[in-house]
Each structure stands twice: as C-alpha cells, then as structure tokens.
Amino acid sequence: MNIRCTPSHLHGEISVNANDNSNIFLLCAGALSEQGVKLKGIETGGFAEKFFDTLEYMGANVNVNENSITVSKNRLFGMAANVNGDEFEFFVYCALASVCEKGFIQLSGLKTIKKGTVDLAVKTLSKLNIACSFDDEDELVIWGGNDITGGTADAENNAFLSLALTVISCEAGIPVDIHNTGEFEKSFPDYIKNFNSLGGKIETIK
C-alpha cells in the first residue's frame, strides 16, 4: 500500500482501542498541535505509559486521567534513550527526534535491532532533510530543528517506519508520499481512520 500524508496538525478527541500501540503515534502528533489531541479509553498502564512520561519530559503538555490522555504542543527538546532492541520503540523515538525543535535524541541499545533496519531509518530520514549520525552499531543520534522537506519515502514494507513517517509529515513542507507501507493497514487497521478523525490528511494513492 502507498499513502500520501498532507501536512496537518491533529486536534480534537476520539475514543480508541486501548490495546492498539499505534495510539502512541497519535499522541506524538498531538505534541505538535497547539489545540492538542485527547484519546479516550486509553490505558494508563502498560507499554504506552512510558511514552506519556517521555512526551512530558521532552516538553509537551500532558494531562493523564483515569481513562484518557491529552497531549498538546510545547517546545520539544531532545533526550537520551535506550531502546533495548525494541524496533517499535526505536521508531517512536525516530519520529519524536525528527520533530524536536531543539537538541537531539541519542538512541542506544541498537545492537539487537537489525542493522538494515537502522540503515533504513537513517536513509529515509536523511532523504527528508533530517540530520542523523550513526557512528557505530549501538548508537544513533537524530538532530531536531530540521526543515523537513517532504517528498517520497520508501518504507520498504516496514509498518513501524510508516507510522513514524505519518508523524513526521505533520511538520513537512510538502506532502510525504509513503510507498510500500508493509503490514501497516493489517496490523493497525484503525490508525488512518483515527488520524483523519483528528484532522489529519492521509489518503491511499497508487
């Protein structure tokens, strides 16, 4: 599947499936919006909880209630993070690093992620004018403050990279066409609907 993401800032509130990890990328996009997004029905425990803290630590406005979370824009700054070989987590940080206003995200714990996956991330981000430095097998630095150009990006059937690119597209100068999104639609069937319900603009293209 190929999709086009027209730059837009998400806003509003929706109910989501608490077990869908792609909600994290909606929250990342919410951190770029003055109005922000509110996800209802999301669990405040488990895998997603660490990213509530991460977004707040980086500078976003975060309000967590018993069964909802609201995230809106403040200045996002970089940080250091160990992804412990988790590919999904790696791409969450790739998205956040790319849209930071200042500083950089230094990612370690990459040795158990396939080098080809890291190389794909670096190649794709660099093509969108996002500064990266991958000096060894365990550390990647992604700089913020980029003038994201947009254009065409080949996700090479990596659904997690496709999710990250939808967030990055929010700050791009022109639409981002993501080719070969992989199992994106099958693994995260509600994501495009939820993204567009919050004012985003993702459409399927040939």
In a domain, 132, yes or no: yes
- The answer to the question of residue 119 being in a domain is yes
Residue 105 covered by a domain = yes
Residue 132 main-chain phi, psi, to 5 deg:
-135, 155
Instruction: Tell me if 101 is assigned to some domain.
Output: yes
State which amino acid sits at residue 87.
E
Tally the domains of the chain: 1
Q: Which residues contact 147 (CB under 8 A, 6 or more apart)?
A: 129, 173
Who has greater pLDDT, 187 or 46? Answer: 187
Residue 87's domain comprises 2-201
Give per-residue pLDDT as tens, 145-177.
Answer: 999 999 999 999 999 999 999 999 999 999 999
**Does residue 206 lie in a domain region?**
no
CATH number for the domain spanning 70: value is 3.65.10.10
Greater model confidence, 136 or 159: 159
DSSP the chain: -EEEE------EEEE--TT-TTHHHHHHHHTT-SS-EEEES--SSSTTHHHHHHHHHHT-EEEE-SSEEEEE----EEEEEE-TT-HHHHHHHHHHHHT-SEEEEEEE--TTS-HHHHHHHHHHHHHTT--EEE-SSSEEEEESS-----EEEE-TT-HHHHHHHHHHHTT-SS-EEEE--TTHHHHSTTHHHHHHHTT--EEEE-
pLDDT of residue 189: 96
Dump pLDDT digits (tens) for 24-74. Answer: 999 999 999 999 999 998 866 656 667 888 999 999 999 988 888 999 999
